[in-house]
Amino acid sequence: MDCELLQQLTYYHRPVGTSEEDLAIEAIRDVGPNGNFFDCDHTRERYRDAFYSPFLSDWRNFESWREAGSPCSHDHANTLWKRLVSEFEPPEIDSSIREELEAFVTKRREQGGAPTDF
């Protein structure tokens, strides 16, 4: 769930344009105070990429969510991490680098690892 929150924050803090086209100045003028932005070409051209799409949380409306069995994000996260771990394939690594890393870990374990405050 932390990963999705970080991904969402990254999305919301991405650089955005500030031109009149980016800010939809003409679309706002055309739609007016009583219009519908979903009828506007500017919205339709950008709709697919304009919103953050979560990979974990469920943003369906309440009725659809309830009909699907009222799934909770923490259950979905649990299923997702188990699938990711089961499908994980370690990347290729040069044998000399692997041996050096294993020797380092062995040495640090023998030394008792890093001191802690507990």
Which tens digits make up the pLDDT trace of 1-12?
888 999 999 998
Domain ranges of the chain: 1-55
* pTM, rounded to two decimals: 0.54
At 63, list the tokens: 């009725």
State which H helix or E strand residue 80 sits in. Answer: helix 73-87
Task: Look up residue 13 and give its DSSP letter.
Answer: T
Q: What is the pLDDT of residues 23-39, one digit of tens each?
A: 999 999 999 998 899 88
Amino acid at 99: E
Give CA–CA dist 68/34, Å, rounded: 35
The pair of three-digit structure tokens given for residue 64, joined into one six-digit string: 């659809």
Say how many C-beta atoms besides its own lie within 10 A of residue 85's C-beta.
8
